[in-house]
Amino acid sequence: MLYLIGLGLAYPEDITVRGLRAVQKCERVYLEHYTSILMNSSMEELEEFYGKKITLADREMVESGCEEIMENADKVDVCFLVVGDVFGATTHTDLVLRCKQQNIPVEVIHNASVMNAAGACGLQLYNFGQTISMVFFTDSWRPDSWYDKIMENRKIGLHTLVLLDIKVKEQSIENMARGRLIYEPPRYMSIAQCCEQLLEIEETRQEKAYTPNTPCVAISRLGSNKQAFKAGTIEQLSKYDSGEPLHTLVILGRQTHELELDYILEFVDDKENFKKMVIEDQEFFKPAPWVPEEEHMSE
């Protein structure tokens, strides 16, 4: 059996009891190590807690065939650990499909992830639209396909969850081109950098999916003992020092409920100004009032 097990957000103890029992009976244990990190846990602490040796599974191992992970998984128990929930990244869906093609039994054990724990900021999960990912821009690569998804969310009044890029065991373009297995130091996108990139693309597109005054909530170190929230406009948060990783941003939608606003006002410096920004922002994409069609009298 191949077990795919969600670890939750921060601590070794965040794993479920069922997940822990599965880990402890497995012959091999792999930890996915490129879509997220377990903020309050080192690999050594996980090994001590599980009583098992752990092998780090980088992007290359997982996305280039998964043969090592799947080897003999039809005869022995193997587990693949994922920070957050198992299906928080599409590459894990691919792993399940590969197992099915090779008739390897798979069992999934879920856990909390940013996709549901983001509700801790006070915004209702029912009011979220499409989730987007914000990647690090380079001199030659500044993708903006996510912009259209924000626009779609905003048109129907829904919040947008923005997942911020992390780079773990990544090669520079030069080293990759030269075939040198030299990896860059880990990098984690900050709230300020995310907001700067949002403003840059709006300046380029000028379609007003959002403006510098669009209200947002910054979420930092979700699920850890250093969890923090900060609400402000995109412009304000582009100057915000969000501290240690990991970070997530939520762009508010037009249908922000009064209860949601009351909650996130606790994370605001200037409450009256923030309320004003929310009210002004809610005018974007506001549906026109319904007007009955004129009745045409036949002669």
> How high is the pLDDT of residue 71?
93
Q: Dihedral, CA atoms, 125, 130, 135, 141, nearest 10 degrees?
A: -160
Which tokens is 157 given? 């009044």
Binding residues for S-adenosyl-L-methionine, by number, are 9, 85, 88, 113-114, 164, 222, 247
Looking at residue 268, its pLDDT comes to 97
**176-212: pLDDT as tens digits:** 565 665 556 789 999 999 999 999 999 999 999 999 9
Q: Specify the pLDDT at position 62.
A: 77
pLDDT of 283 reads: 87
Query: Within 13 Å of residue 149, how many CA atoms lie on the same side as its CB?
Result: 17
CB 212 within 8 A of CB 234: yes
DSSP SS3 for 239: coil
Residue ranges of the chain with per-residue pLDDT less than 50? none
Instruction: Name all domains of the chain by residue range, CATH numbers in brackets.
Output: 2-112 (3.40.1010.10), 115-285 (3.30.950.10)
Report residue 86 as tokens: 């198992």
Q: Which residues are documented as binding site?
A: 9, 85, 88, 113-114, 164, 222, 247
pLDDT of res. 143: 96
Q: Report angle CA 115, 121, 127 to the nearest 5 degrees.
A: 60
User: pLDDT tens digits for 34-51?
Assistant: 778 888 888 899 999 999
What pLDDT, on the 0 to 100 scale, is given for residue 72?
94
For the purposes of burial, counting CB atoms within 10 Å of the CB of 31, is it exposed (0-12), middle (13-18) or buried (19 or more)? buried
Q: What three-state secondary structure class fits 106?
A: strand
Q: Which helix (H) or strand (E) holds 55?
A: strand 55-57
